[in-house]
Amino acid sequence: MLAFTRLSLAAAVLAPALSTHAAKILVQVGPGGQTIFSPSNVTASVGDVVSFQFLSKNHSVTQSSFASPCEPLAGGVDSGFQPVAVDATNLSEFSIAINNASKPLFFFSAQTALVDECNLGMVFSINQDANSATKSFTNFQANAKADVPAAKATAVVSSSTVAAAPAAASSGAKILVQVGAGNGLTFSPSNISANTGDTVSFQFLNGNHSVTESSFASPCEPLAGGIDSGLQFVAANSTEIPEFSFTITNGSKLFFFFSKQTVPVNECNKGMVFSINQDPNSAVKSFAAFQANAKADIPASTATAVGTKATAVPAKASSGSDILVQVGADDSLTFSPSNISAKAGDTVTFQFLSKNHSVTQTTFAEPCSSPLFGGIDSGFQPIAPNATAIPQFSFTLNNANTPLFFFSKQGAECNQGMVFSINQDPNSAKSFAAFQANAEADIRPAAKVNKRGRRVHARDFSKVVGK
């Protein structure tokens, strides 16, 4: 299976090569902390790939024009800002495949936060003509330093043909992923396996997408310190294909990504997600579950970065649905949703997002006083503010005919309304609303609870899995 995947990817990489002699031309961005591209200009042939390696600070490679060196070219390529952590172990790379060597291309770093880097002369060109006043790198850089303002947006190219990037020659494999192929909201393939040393290259073919690292738990939220291509707009008349790549430094790790575009639709919610080294047999590591989370729009939980090391929940054995309930989202004392309907065979998964809560089964009559004997109880699940893992607790419902009631047994949280139910009937006396009102009123009826009734509840579950 693994071998098959890698073979077919290798074929996909080799197929579109334009020329067997295509070169990869490496350009360093910010070497030694300097505000420069090195080299400052290169000559490239058709089929060559110019790869920009971001080595320090927070620069961009943004296409401009000879006339307006420090203004982004409409429809031009743009790496977006690529911040590099001081202790970065892997480096982002942004590449452009050349399909017309007669056309000089001009670029600048769009960073202006501390200093306008373009005005400092941080510019670059491909196929300059040193002998032409309007095509030389020297004149272009002089214009940049003189801060020549935007003149006019001139149409550049009219061809709609796009160049295919040739296979790269590196020691690890190069795995190609197409972004937006056929104008779809897709990464193709949707998930890959990669080893340490492999380079994953994303080719932006259409639209305005990004490749942004997230986490299994929060598919549609950027991971703090994670990889991000920035939004890559590809005009219909674009002749260059922006390519964004990175090298895998740990082939044992899982990586999750999404397109952060939300206009006109939230692409992540449409399932435009991608993963590396998913495990199809793990509920918290499979691409399918990740994509389902993305479509269900799991919101950001806490401000903390969440890792991909969420505690393993065994794969769902049944064919029922997965129902996700967030516990303590946004630091609130809530289960979200507060009540659900579930069928026999459905799996209910609780994600603990903040503080120190529990999911503990109780009775309708006496919500907050003690756990139901023999009932479900996740135990306390403390979440540190800097937590990198999200504990999950799941069970599969065996009996959908009886309403089930739960509370957080932490302190007075139940009295503050932190309760949950499954298969309540809003029109019956045992509605979720009445249950929550009982909890807030701290109802403790004198009547003893019938033990046989508790046994019935205990049999409502087929399996209880810990975090």
Binding positions for ligand NAG, rule: CB under 6 A:
5, 39-42, 58, 74-75, 81, 83, 88-90, 100, 102-103, 111, 113, 137-138, 153, 155-157, 159, 189-191, 208, 225, 227, 231, 233, 235, 237-238, 246, 248-250, 252-253, 255, 261, 263, 287-288, 337-339, 356, 380, 382, 384, 386, 388, 410, 432-433
What is the SS3 assignment for 256? strand
226 sits in which H/E element: none
Q: What are the φ and ψ backbone dihedral angles of 418, each rounded to 5 degrees?
A: -85, 80
Are 267 and 185 spatial neighbours (Cβ–Cβ below 8 Å)? yes
Q: Which is nearer to ligand NAG, 191 or 218 (CB)?
A: 191
CA 356, 357, 361: angle at the middle one, nearest 5?
Answer: 155
Least distance (Å) between residue 15 CB and ligand NAG: 15
**Least Å from the CB of residue 289 to ligand NAG:** 9
- Least distance (Å) between residue 21 CB and ligand NAG: 19
Bridge partner residues of 18 (DSSP): none
- CB-based contact 69:143 (threshold 8 Å): yes
- CA-nearest of 365, 374, 379 to 438 is 365
Do the Cβ atoms of 275 and 216 come closer than 8 Å? Answer: no
Residue among 178 and 361 whose Cβ is closer to ligand NAG: 178
Q: Which is nearer to ligand NAG, 292 or 449 (CB)?
A: 292
Residue 190 or 282 with smaller CB distance to ligand NAG: 190
Exposure string for 375-385, b = 16+ CB within 10 A, e = fewer: bbbbeebebee
Would strands 347-352 and 322-327 be described as parallel, antiparallel, or unpaired?
A: parallel
Measured from the CB atom, is 356 or 399 closer to ligand NAG?
356
Residue from 193, 215, 242, 238 nearest 60 by CA: 242
Q: Quick one: 189 or 374, whose CB is closer to ligand NAG?
A: 189
Smallest distance, Å, CB 251 to ligand NAG? 8
Residue 85: left (phi > 0), alpha (psi -120 to 50), or beta?
beta
Could you tell me the smallest distance in angstroms from the CB atom of residue 231 to ligand NAG? 4
In the complex, least distance from residue 372 CB atom to ligand NAG, rounded to whole angstroms: 18
Strands 93-97 and 105-108: unpaired
Q: How far is the CB of 275 from ligand NAG (least distance, A)?
A: 8
Q: Which one, 441 or 456, has the nearer CB to ligand NAG?
A: 441
Give the whole-angstrom CA distance, residue 303 versus residue 301: 7
